[in-house]
Structure formats: C-alpha cells, structure tokens
C-alpha cells in the first residue's frame, strides 16, 4: 500500500476539514469527488505533506511523514499539483519544471531528459522555451502537471488537474493518468465525474470531511439507479450518495 | 546544487538594475574620483562611498526575490519538495548576492586598473574592498530575511528605503564624532589625504567587518529557526549562526564604543585594535625639482611637482643662497615647525591638497597662498606677531614675485599701518641686486625682529 | 438589489490596496524624521539627506498601494475605478502630508515644512508615474534612483531645477515642478492605473 490512512483528522481552528478518514490505496488511479468544502483539498494537502494531520495515523509509501527524514524521502518520490498553482512569470516552461525537478533531488544529469519528457507528455513541447507569463490558463495547468510528473512519482496527487483544459487535452490527460496508475498511486480530486469515470479504477466521495463512499465507478453509478439527480449514471450515483449521507 | 543556483542567477532581476547602478556609480564619489588626481587612498575611499548607491538596491532586490514565493503562491507546491525552506531560499539569496558582488568587483577592477596606470605611489586599500564586498552580502542577507518573513507588497520598497536611511543615519552619527557610527561602512572618518602621511591602519575596517558579518549571520540564521525551515541540523545551524552573529555584532559595537573619533582632523583611535593614539608617520622619499631652492612633494603628488615649483619659483629665486634661507621646501601635512636656521634647513609647508586632489592647476589664489606661506616662514619666527619691518619685506618680496600688494596675506591681527605698504613698495622698487645684498646682510636680524622700517632700503 | 453605498465601496477599495498598512509605514517614516530631527541643526550633506529619505519612503509606499491584486476582474467591473484610484491616492498623499507636517513642526528640518511637503508631492508624483510605466510593485525603483542623485547633489552643492528637491524654502519653480509631477502622476494613475504585471 502506498497510502495508509487511519482515522485521519485535520482541523483549522474549530472547523474540522477532515473528520476521520480511513483509506488504503495501492497502485492505480483513485478519484476523489465531493461538493465544495467537503475537505478534498485539505486531505490532498495532508497527503502531500504540506499540512500535518491533527490526529490519526498516516503512512505514505511505507514511511511516516511525521519524522523529518522519512518526510524528505516521501517528497522525493511524490508529485503534487495544487488547486491554485503559483508560478514565476519570468521562468520559461522548461526552467520551471527543471527547478522543481532539482528541488526534488533528482540527479542533475537526469534532469534535462526528464524535463523534456514531462513537457512533451503534456503537449507543450513547442512552448518549452516560452515564458510562463505568456501562457494561457490551460497551458499553465499543463505546466503544473508536467512539474508533478517530472520525477516519475510513486505517489501523485492532483487537485483539479483538468481545470482549463480543452476536451481533447482532457482525453489525453485521462490516458496519461491511466498509464501512470499502472505503477503509481494517483489521487485525483475533481468535480468532473466524467474524468473519474474514464480514468479511475476506484472512487471516493467526501462530504463534510468524511469519506461517505468508496468503491468502483460502476458501484457508484449503481447507487443512482434507485433515484438521483444527474444526466449520467455516475452523476446520479454521486447525488444519490450525497443525499443519503446528508443528515 | 549548482544547477539550481545557475537557474536562479539566470532569472534574477539584479542584472536588470545593473545599468541603473552603474549610472549611480557615475554620480557618486566613485565617478568624480576618476577626474581627480589618481591617489590610491582617495580612490579606495571613493569605492567604499559608492556603497550608498549599491547597498539599498541589493537589499530591495533580495527582499523582492525572497518574497517571490509568497507573491507567486508557490509556497504549497514548494513545501512538497525535500529541501526545507531555509536551504531552498539560500539559492535565491546567493544568486542576488553573486550578481551584486560581480558588479562591485567589476567596479573595483575598473577603478583600480585606471588608478594603477596613473598613480605614482601607494597601492589599493584591500580592506576597503573587503568592507564593500561584505556590505553587499550583509544588505542582501538582511533584505532576504525581511522578504521571507514579510512577503507582502511593501517589503521590497521598505527594505530598500530603510537600508538607505540606515546608511545615511549611520554616516550622520559618524560625523557627530559618535564612536558607534564607526560600524557604518559609508562616510569614512579617516581623511584620505592624511592617510598618505600617517599610518591609519585597518582598525575602522575591522570594526565594520565584524559588525557586518554579525548582522549577516543573524539575518540568515534567524530564518533557519522555525520548524518548517528544515530538520534538526538546520535548526541547530540557525541557532549557532544567530548566536554567533549577535556576539560578533555586539563585539564590534563594544570595540567602536571605546573609540575616540575626531572627524574634523580625520583621526580615530580604537584602543583594543591600535597600540597607540599617536600618529605614526609613513616614511617615503619625496620627489623634488631642481629649482634654486628645491620644492619637494609626496611621491603620490608627483604630477603636481612642476606646478608647485612654478608657484614657488618667483620667491625662491629671490631667497636662494641667502644665509639662513631654506635649502629645501618640503610640502607635507602637519610638518614639524623647524626653524629655518636648523641644519640642514628645511622648510615645511602645507600642500594645496584640495586643488591637487581635484587635478586642478595650482595657480591663482592657491599659488599666491603657497608663496605667502613660504615668505612668512622665512621672514618671521614661528608663533610671533610680525613686526612692521617683517610685514614690509614680506609684501615687497611677494610684489616682486608678481602678487598684488594685499595686506590680507599677512598673518597679523588688524590692518597694518600705511607706512608698511609704503616701505614695501620702496623695497620692491629697489634694484634686485640691492635687495639681495640687503637680505643677505639683514635676514637674520629681520627674522629676529630687531629691525624697523627705517632699516629697510 | 440596492446599490452599494459609495462609502462602503471606497472602504473596500482602500482595503484592497492595503492603505492602512501603507499609512502605518508612512507614520513610521514620519516618526523616523522626528527622532532624527535633533541632529538636523548641524549643516551638512548627510543631514539634509535624512528628511528626503523619509519622504522617499512615504512616496514609495504610496506608489506600491496602487497595485491591483484583483487583476482583470476589477477592470471589467464598472466605471468607478478612476474615481476610486484618484480618491485613494489623494487620501494617502493628504494623510502623509499631515503626518509629515506634524513631524516636522518645531524641528530643525532644513527648509521647514514647505520643503518637506514639496519633496513629498514631487517624489510621490514620480512614484505614481513609475507605477504606470513599470508596474506598481516596481514603482519604488525610480524615486530611489532619483533620491540617490539628489543626495549626491547635496554633497556637490547643485541647485539646478533638475534636482529640485535640493532647493529649500519658498521656491516657485521647484514647487511648480513638484506639483506638476504629482498632478501628472495622479492623472495617469486615475485614468489608466498602474501597469499590469503578473504576480
């Protein structure tokens, strides 16, 4: 298991953003769905070691992120795309990805090739030398994906990765996720259920800081057959589970 | 991680500001010194003064670079990388500092290269260069720390302007003879001209280096203290750096606090760094011309020798060879008041440093002043009020030399009697041979004050 | 939906520009002027530079307050912006003038409050024009360069109109230049705002 979570909580003051989550994730693509404020981003930030958990047990890649040494090792093998990706406007596409690659302690000799491969993978090969300030929002998102995958991570955490991508790019991205999920654990937080349906082997649904459903997309769709709001089976399943889980 | 450093250096904004800093150099004492006489002490001092234009920019740029992650909202992303924030931030700081040091090194190389071609004595003050380099590192470090701690929109301008204010306030403190001002790298207390005649030593530079190093260590060390900065060893390093920096800076302040400063005379004495407050002369071989009474100057002023000799010649040709006349005139600061009757009789005069430093010709008022000092020292005894006869002879000799009959040049209290100027005109109107014969016979008595106006030809 | 009261709109605009922290910084510079004032009776190039630097600090801060954190969103929101920008800058300049006037009162600032306020007006104008040209967060660079040149001018005794901050006391030409700079800066910022830069 690359991700082992047991009764994990994360609070911000009095607000419990993550309220007792249990998850075990191995290689594959895990989709994380939920309404706004459900705690998806907070959970992802805890998994990314940006925030420590307030309580509970967490092991990533077999290591305890609470200790400094193991945390550094986790970060070397981790890829993360935050919901709001910051960037340095004066850097070029390659420079930004290279910068992150070097900070991840990748061997300098391997960095140029890895950067080129990552930039090509997201379809920005012809814009590799463009300054980031000259890119559109969708292109910047793809730069974000490139920096997340440059070190071929064993644990890849993506928060709203397809925001701003056009349909063709979203299809390419799903293919990329499936490929990465063959050997790594990929956790994708998204509002787009069709992305989850197309790329994810398992899906979790969060509400008010709790995971109220885990299973396959087909199992989620099945929950909607009894009644639910939506145009597609997965949407109906999503809304049906939420309706059942709300007090 | 030279790759990260190369990346940071390539994308640093300091190079964009280098042309502006070069322009400021031109306006600063650095630029002005290039038009003046090539004196190592003065140009080394000018290089250090140029920090006034460089240091605030380095601080502002460092603050801007350090606050980049807060502005660009990359904190979350970078928090997922193995290197803690302290080590990560050092690359940006190092890149900014290296650009600043490169600029400073080029400026120093240009200045010293031009000076080496023109200067006739001495060498560069490497202590001044060291102080300048460390100043750049310090202001860059302080800006970096402020940028990390307060990554808002105001940090860069407040850091730059705050640095500017701190430097100038420090210079003001120094000019008030307050010893704590000695830690400021700008506004040296030592007179660069005096530094050619008397040993000044690196005491002030040492105090500044200590203080600046201490501030640098605190600025960098403080950033390593929070838990997010890195692991245990990072925090230990931060604690050690902060403690050492505070101790070093306090030591510098303690050394400075015990100093005696006299900015007007361009002298300082720091007891624990200097063995004696008394002036230690720098020995040198003066360069002299071949006038009837040779004029000699410090070898650094070799280029002014011809003008000095030309200024004095109208008087020296009248006095050369007379009993009791000096055999040599030595221009130096605070020369001993040797009576002309000593052996060998050498007359010491103050050199016209302002004109010489500015590379201006020594003529007009400066030349007249030199001649009047020479005549005064030959005709009168030191410390005595000139008699009427002495005044008349002085005016007469100067008139023969071509100077206007101006009683203002006389070192007297109050306006001399009209009979003095009348006697001076008679003396000047006498044939040259008669004047010379009279001076040869009466110079000693005249100097001793035993003659009256009636004794003049 | 009722219209938002203009006072509230102005208050929100001021908050978006971090005007309150800016005024705190201005106050700190005025305090620095007051604390160093007892040195200013000794004539010299350095002592004349200190008040100018404190004014530079205020001007630099005012220039940076013009930065728009909301980007294009604000520009498309409506027609109030020129008035809001003008009002914000005028308010900060006026407050700075009052604060510096109070700090200089009864002190030995060379040239008195007249000189100080003229320097504030002119340097703020330069900062505003720099914001329009380079961007709000880079607007402090040009006034800093100019002040460094003026500091050198004090040392060399220059009094040309090109270095008008070095002129003290009532001086019509210098006042006209400073007022012109402030008016130009206000106008450009009100109408066009600062140059838009990425974060």
The ipTM (two decimal places) reads: 0.94
Tokens for B119, please give them.
């200067």
* pLDDT at position A4: 95
Cα(A8)–Cα(A56) distance, integer angstroms: 4
Average pLDDT over residues B295-318: 88
Tens digits of residue pLDDT in B406-455: 777 777 767 777 888 888 899 999 898 999 999 888 888 888 888 888 88
* pLDDT at position C72: 65
Please list, in sequence order, all residues whose beta carbon lies within 8 angstroms of the beta carbon of residue A37, skipping any fewer than 6 positions away: none
Between positions 35 and 94 of B, the ones with CB within 8 A of A are 68-69, 72-83, 88
Tokens for B305, please give them.
């020798």
Cβ-defined contact of A87 to B74 (cutoff 8 Å): yes
Any C CB within 8 A of A133 CB: yes
Tens digits of residue pLDDT in C9-31: 788 788 888 999 999 999 999 99
Residue B324, CA distances (Å) to A162, B59, B328, B387 in order: 102, 63, 12, 19
In which band, very low, low, confident or very high, does the pLDDT at C199 lie, cut at 50, 70 and 90?
Answer: very low
State yes or no: cis peptide before B344, omega within 30 of 0: yes
DSSP output for B106-120: HHHHHHHHHHHHH--
Cα(A246)–Cα(C172) distance, integer angstroms: 74
Q: Which of B7-21, B359-373, C88-102 has the lowest mean pLDDT?
A: B359-373
The helix or strand, by DSSP H or E, that contains position C74, with its residue range, turns out to be helix C72-75
* pLDDT at position B343: 44
* pLDDT at position C198: 43
Q: Specify burial of residue B55 (Cβ count, 10 A radius: 0-12, 13-18, 19+).
A: buried
Q: List the beta bridge partners of residue B390.
A: none
Distance of CA A130 to the CA centre of its chain: 26
Cα(A132)–Cα(A172) distance, integer angstroms: 22
CB pairs under 8 A between A and C: 5
Torsion sign (Cα): A231, A235, A236, A239: negative
Please report all neighbours of B, defined by 3+ CB atom pairs within 8 A. A, C
Average pLDDT over residues B230-257: 95
Residue B160 half-sphere exposure toward CB, CA atoms < 13 A: 31
Cα(B390)–Cα(B139) distance, integer angstroms: 60
In which band, very low, low, confident or very high, does the pLDDT at B229 lie, cut at 50, 70 and 90?
Answer: confident
Cα(A156)–Cα(B80) distance, integer angstroms: 11
Tens digits of residue pLDDT in A139-165: 999 999 999 999 999 999 999 888 888
Any C CB within 8 A of A89 CB: yes
pTM (predicted TM-score): 0.84
* pLDDT at position C12: 79
Angle between helices B85-118 and B232-257 (to 10 degrees): 40
- The residue to which tokens 């981003």 are assigned: A41
Question: Which chain B residue shows the shortest CA-CA distance from A78?
Answer: B80
Average pLDDT over residues C93-102: 96
pLDDT of B22 higher than 80: yes
Nearest to C55 by CA among C14, C103, C12: C103
Residue A68, CA distances (Å) to A27, A74, B76, B397, C195 in order: 25, 10, 17, 90, 43
Please report all neighbours of A, defined by 3+ CB atom pairs within 8 A. B, C
Question: Which chain A residue shows the shortest CA-CA distance from B82?
Answer: A72
Average pLDDT over residues A183-209: 90
* pLDDT at position C3: 46
């Amino acid at each position: 298991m690359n991700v082992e979570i047991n009764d994990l909580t994360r609070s911000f003051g009095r607000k419990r953003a993550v309220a007792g989550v249990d998850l075990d994730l191995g290689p594959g693509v895990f989709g994380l769905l939920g309404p706004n404020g459900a705690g998806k981003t907070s959970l992802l930030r805890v998994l990314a070691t940006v925030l420590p958990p307030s309580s509970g047990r967490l092991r990533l890649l077999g290591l305890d992120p609470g200790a400094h040494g193991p945390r550094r090792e986790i970060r070397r093998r981790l890829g993360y795309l935050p919901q709001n990706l910051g960037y340095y406007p004066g850097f070029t596409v390659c420079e930004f990805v290279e910068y992150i690659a070097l900070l991840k302690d990748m061997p300098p000799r391997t960095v140029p090739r890895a950067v080129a491969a990552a930039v090509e993978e997201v379809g920005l090969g012809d814009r590799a030398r463009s300054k980031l300030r000259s890119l559109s929002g969708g292109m910047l998102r793809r730069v974000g994906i490139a920096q997340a995958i440059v070190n071929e991570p064993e644990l890849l955490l993506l928060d709203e990765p397809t925001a701003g991508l056009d349909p063709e790019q979203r299809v390419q991205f799903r293919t990329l996720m499936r490929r990465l999920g063959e050997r790594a654990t990929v956790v994708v937080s998204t509002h787009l259920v069709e992305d989850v349906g197309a790329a994810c082997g398992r899906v979790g649904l969060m509400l008010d800081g709790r995971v109220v459903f885990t299973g396959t997309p087909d199992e989620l769709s099945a929950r909607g057959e009894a009644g639910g709001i939506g145009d597609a089976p997965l949407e109906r399943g999503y809304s049906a589970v939420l309706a059942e889980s709300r007090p | 991680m030279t790759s990260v450093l190369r990346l940071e250096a390539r994308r640093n904004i300091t190079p964009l500001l280098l042309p502006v800093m070069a322009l400021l150099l031109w306006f600063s004492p650095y630029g002005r010194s290039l038009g003046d006489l090539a004196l190592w002490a003065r140009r080394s001092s000018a290089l250090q003064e140029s920090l006034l234009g460089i240091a605030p920019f380095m601080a502002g740029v460092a603050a801007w670079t350090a606050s980049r992650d807060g502005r660009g909202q990359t904190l979350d992303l970078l928090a997922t990388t193995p290197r803690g924030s302290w080590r990560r931030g050092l690359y940006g700081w190092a890149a900014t500092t290296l650009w600043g040091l490169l600029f400073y090194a080029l400026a120093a190389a240009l200045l010293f290269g031009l000076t080496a071609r023109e200067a006739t004595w001495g060498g560069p003050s490497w202590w001044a260069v060291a102080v300048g380099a460390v100043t750049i590192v310090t202001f860059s470090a302080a800006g970096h720390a402020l940028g990390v701690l307060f990554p808002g929109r105001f940090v860069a301008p407040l850091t730059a302007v705050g640095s500017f204010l701190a430097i100038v306030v420090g210079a003001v403190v120094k000019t008030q003879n307050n010893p704590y001002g000695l830690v400021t790298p700008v506004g040296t207390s030592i007179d660069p001209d005096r530094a050619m005649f008397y040993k000044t030593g690196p005491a002030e530079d040492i105090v500044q280096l200590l203080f600046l190093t201490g501030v640098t260590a605190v600025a960098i060390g403080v950033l390593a203290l929070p838990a997010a900065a890195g692991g245990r060893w990072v925090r230990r390093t931060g604690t050690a750096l902060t403690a050492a920096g505070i101790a070093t800076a306090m030591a510098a302040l303690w050394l400075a606090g015990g100093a005696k400063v006299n900015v007007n005379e361009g002298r300082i004495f720091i007891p624990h760094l200097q063995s004696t407050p008394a002036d230690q002369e720098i020995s040198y071989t003066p360069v002299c011309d071949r006038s009837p009474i040779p004029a000699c100057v410090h070898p650094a002023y070799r280029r002014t020798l011809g003008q000095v000799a030309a200024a004095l010649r109208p008087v020296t040709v009248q006095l050369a060879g007379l009993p009791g006349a000096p055999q040599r005139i030595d221009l130096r600061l605070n020369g001993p008041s040797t009576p002309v009757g000593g052996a060998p009789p050498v007359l010491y005069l103050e050199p016209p440093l302002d004109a010489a430093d500015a590379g201006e010709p020594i003529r007009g008022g400066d030349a007249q002043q030199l001649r009047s000092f020479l005549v005064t020292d030959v005709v009168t005894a030191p410390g005595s009020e000139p008699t009427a006869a002495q005044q008349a002879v002085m005016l007469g000799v100067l008139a023969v030399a071509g100077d206007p009959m101006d009683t203002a040049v006389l070192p007297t209290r109050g306006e001399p009697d009209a009979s003095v100027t009348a006697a001076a005109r008679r003396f000047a109107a006498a044939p040259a041979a008669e004047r010379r014969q009279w001076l040869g016979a009466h110079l000693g008595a005249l100097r001793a004050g035993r003659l009256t106006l009636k004794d003049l030809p | 939906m009722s219209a938002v009261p203009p006072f509230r709109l102005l208050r929100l605009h001021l908050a978006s520009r971090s005007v309150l922290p800016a005024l705190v910084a201005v106050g700190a510079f005025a305090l620095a002027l007051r604390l160093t004032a007892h040195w200013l009776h000794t004539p010299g190039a350095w002592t004349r530079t200190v008040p100018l630097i404190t004014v530079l600090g205020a001007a630099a801060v005012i220039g940076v307050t013009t930065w728009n954190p909301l980007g294009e969103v604000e520009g498309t929101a409506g027609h109030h912006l020129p008035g809001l920008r003008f009002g914000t800058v005028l308010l900060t300049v006026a407050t700075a003038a009052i604060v510096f006037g109070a700090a200089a009162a009864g002190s030995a600032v060379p040239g008195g409050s007249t000189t100080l306020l003229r320097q504030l007006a002119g340097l703020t104008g330069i900062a505003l024009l720099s914001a329009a040209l380079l961007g709000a967060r880079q607007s402090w660079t040009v006034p800093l360069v100019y002040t460094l040149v003026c500091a050198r001018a004090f040392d060399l005794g220059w009094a040309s109109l090109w270095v008008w901050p070095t002129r003290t006391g009532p001086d019509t030409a210098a006042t006209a230049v400073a007022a012109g700079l402030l008016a130009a800066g206000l106008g450009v910022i009100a109408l066009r705002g600062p140059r838009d830069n990425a974060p």
